[in-house]
Structure 1
Amino acid sequence: MNGGPTGFNNAPVTRAFIIASALFTVFFGIQGRSSKLGLSYLDVFGKLRLWKLIVSAFAFSSIPELMFGLYLLYYFRVFERQIGSNKYSVFILFSIIVALLFEFLTLTLLKDSAVNLVATGPYGLIFASFVPFFFDIPVSTWFRVFGLRFSNKSFIYLAGLQLLLSSWKRSILPGLCGILAGSLYRLNVFHIRKTKLPEFVISFFSWISWPTTGSPPSAPARSIVGNIPSYASRQVERNYPSSMPSAIDPSEDSIATLVSMGFDRNSARQALVQARNDVNVASNILLEAQSH
C-alpha cells in the first residue's frame, strides 16, 4: 500500500502541497510560533487574520504530526492519479474550505467547552481523503498478526488514527470535519465533482514543484474509446479483445501504478494495451467506464 511505485509522477499538485506543508511547519517550528497557529473561538468572532487562516491549512504543530501527515498525503496522491490534477485541486480546495466551515461552526456551538482551539495542519484534506480510500480502494491482501486479521489497508488506517489522536480534542475535531467534507464531496453536492480549475493553475503547480522521480509514459497519448469497468476483468476482455492490432506489451511499472490506484490488474493491463502504455490515457479509460 505505497500508492504507486513512481514517486510523484503524475501527481504535481500533491508534490507542491507536501513541499508547502513541510516548509511552513519547519519555518514556524524554528521560530517557536507553531502553537499560535491553531484556530480558536476568538478567530471566528474576533479579528481573523488571513495569513493565519492560510498557514493553518498547511503547517503542523509538531514534527511527529508532520511525519504522519506527510506519509498520508504522499499515499493519497493515488487519488490525483485517478481523477487528474485539475479535479484533485478542486478536491483539495473543497475539503479545506468545507472542513474550516465545519470547524468554525463547531467552535461557535462549543464556545464554553474545553474545545476552544483546533490543531493546525491539513487535517481537512487528509481525513477527507479517507472517504474515497474507504470506498474506492479495494483490499488486495489479508494477513494475521497475533491471531488478529489485518488487510493491506490497515497501515493507512493506523497512521490516520495516530494523527487523529495526536493532539486529542484539538486534532479530533478537524479530523471529523475533514471526514464530513470528504463525504459531501463524494455525494457530489453542488455538482462539485464536475468542477474544474483553469489549466494555468495546474501548470503553476508543476512549475513550482521539484522535478519528478520516475519515468514518463513511454508513448504519446491518443484518443481511446471504450467502456471498461474498473474491477471486472471479463468485461475488459470483451471490450478489448486480445487480437488487437499494433498492441504494445505494457510495462510492469505502468501496471503497478494502475493497480495502486485500485484497479484490477488484468483490467489495467488491457487498458494499457489500448493506450499504448500511456498511464494517463489508461486511467481515463478505466475511470470513464467506472462512471457509467
Structure 2
Amino acid sequence: MNAGPSGFQNAPVTKGLVFICGIASIIAATQGRASFSSLSYQAIVKKLHLWRLGTSVFVFSSTSELMFGLYLLYYFRVFERQIGSNKYSVFILFATIFSTLFELMILVLFKDSISGGLAPGPYGIIVSLFVPFFLDIPVSTRFQIFSVRFSDKSFVYLAGLQLLLSSWKRSLIPGFCGVLAGLLYRMNIFRIQRIKLPKLVASTASWLFAPLVSGGSSTISSRRTATRETIDAPLGQQFQGNLVAPTMAESEEAISALVSMGFDRSSAIRALAQARNDINAAADLLLNSHSQ
C-alpha cells in the first residue's frame, strides 16, 4: 500500500504529533524521567499525579518504542489526508480520551498487579488507527518470501505487533484500550464522526502550532481557500463547472495518494481536477459521492 506523497503534505496534525512525541520522549529520556510518565494505580489514585494523564500520551519509554511509534504515526497520515485535519483532530482527541478512560478502569480493577504501571506513549491513538487500516484500506500488492505470503500491509502490522509486545502486558493493555476506542469511533458513538472542531478552536490551534507545521502550509492554505466554495456547494453541483488542471508532477502524487485510500484512478482524477489538486478536498468529494 502506498501512503501517498512523502513528507507531511496535507497532514499538519500528524506533523505536530510526531514532533511533540519525539521531542518529549527525547527530553524525558535524557532527564531519566520516562518512567514518571506511566500510568499506575499508585500514581494516579493514591498519589493523585494527575499530570501523568497528559504526559503519558506523548512520551515513549524506550528507543524501540519511539522508532516504531513515530513510524506508525507518520504512516497513518493517510487518514488525515482522507478525512481532513479537522476531523482527524477530533479522532485523535476521541481515541486519547476513551483509551485513557479504559486504562484507568483497568488500573482500578487490577490495582497493584501491573508492575511498573502501563507503558507510556500514544498507544491509544496508534492502535485505534489500525481499526480503519484493517477495515477500510484494501490490499493492493501480494508477494511471497520463502513461500510465506505477504501483502503491502504486512509490514505495517509487523511494526504494530513489535510496538505492542515491546513491554509485554504493560504495552498490550494500552493497545487493547486503543482497539476499543477505535471500534467505538467506528460505531459512530455520540455521532462522533459528524463532529468538527469549532472554527475558533481550529484557528487558535493552527496559530499556536504554526511553527511546527509551517512547511508547505502556505501552498496548502491557498489550495484550500481556492476550493472552499466547491466543498461548501451542494453535492450535485460539486462536480459541475470549470475544471482546473493541476500540474502533472503534483497530479500524479495526488492521484497515487487517493488510489492508496481505495478510490479508483478515474474517479480520483476527476475529483482532483474539480478540487484543484487539493487531496483533502478531493477525498471529501469522493467520500460524499460514495455515501449518496
Give the TM-score normalised by the residue count of structure 1.
Answer: 0.87
**Alignment partner of 1:248 is 2:245:** yes
Looking at structure 1, the residues matched to 15 and 122 of structure 2 have their Cα atoms a distance apart, in angstroms, of: 14
* Unaligned residue ranges in structure 1 (runs of 5+): 229-238
Q: Which amino acid aligns with 2:174?
A: P
Report deviation, 1:214. Answer: 9.6
Structure 1 residue 226: deviation in Å? 8.3
Partner of 2:212: 209
* Alignment map for 1:44-123 (pairs within 5 Å): 44-114=44-114, 117-123=117-123
SS of residue paired to 1:138: coil
Shift of 1:116: 6.0
Separation in 2, partners of 1:71, 1:213: 21
Alignment partner of 1:143: what SS? Answer: strand
Deviation at 1:157, TM superposition (A): 0.3
Letter aligned with residue 230 of structure 2: S
Counterpart of 1:291 in structure 2 is 291
- List per-residue Cα deviations over 1:189-214 (Å, max 9, x = no partner): 01111111123244236513143269
SS at match of 1:223: helix
Other-structure match for 2:184: 184
Would the alpha carbon gap of residues 203 and 140 (structure 1) be closer, same or farther in structure 2, given more than 3 Å must change? same
CA contact (8 A) 2:271 2:285 kept: yes
Whether the 8 Å CA contact 1:13–1:206 is kept in 2: the answer is: no
Q: Counterpart in 2 of 1:39?
A: 39
Distance 1:160 1:43 in 2: 28
Structure 1 position 98, deviation (Å) = 0.4
CA distance in 2, matches of 1:215, 1:136: 31
CA distances 1:81-108 after superposition (whole Å, capped 9, x unpaired): 1111111111111101100111111112
Q: Is the 8 A contact 2:69 2:126 kept in 1?
A: yes
Instruction: Determine if contact 1:69/1:163 at 8 Å carries over to the other structure.
Output: yes
Q: CA deviation at 1:52?
A: 1.9
Query: Identity, % of aligned pairs?
Result: 54
> Residue 141 in 1 paired to residue 148 in 2?
no
**Distance 1:226-1:18 versus aligned 2 partners, 3 A rule:** same
User: What RMSD, in angstroms, separates the aligned Cα atoms of the two structures?
Assistant: 2.5
Equivalent runs, 1:227-238 vs 2, <5 Å: none
Q: Which moved more, 1:189-198 or 1:255-264?
A: 255-264
Q: Is the 8 A contact 2:95 2:124 kept in 1?
A: yes
Is 1:223 the counterpart of 2:220? The answer is: no
The code of the aligned residue for 1:80 comes to E
Distance 2:28 2:49 in 1: 16
* CA 1:142–1:33: 2 relative to 1, 3 Å: same
Please give the alpha-carbon distance, in whole angstroms, between the structure 2 residues aligned to 1:165 and 1:279.
Answer: 35
In 2, the alpha carbon distance for the partners of 1:146 and 1:212 equals: 42
Q: How many angstroms does 1:276 deviate by?
A: 3.3
How many corresponding residue pairs? 280
Mapped contact 1:7–1:212 kept (Cα < 8 A):
no
Looking at structure 1, the residues matched to 155 and 182 of structure 2 have their Cα atoms a distance apart, in angstroms, of 20
Determine helix, strand or coil for the equivalent of 2:113. coil
CA distance in 2, matches of 1:196, 1:246: 28
**Structure 2, unaligned stretches of length 5 or more?**
none
Measured after TM superposition, the shift of residue 112 of structure 1 is: 5.0
Distance 1:202 1:36, change over 3 A: closer
SS of structure 2 residue aligned to 1:139: coil
Q: Please tell me whether residue 17 in structure 1 is matched to residue 17 in structure 2.
A: yes
TM-score (norm 2): 0.87
1:142-161 maps to which residues of 2 (within 5 A)? 142-161=142-161
Q: Aligned partners of 2:127 and 2:291: how far apart in 1? A: 24
Cα distance per residue 1:201-243 (max 9 Å; x no partner): 4423651314326994696325166879xxxxxxxxxx979xx
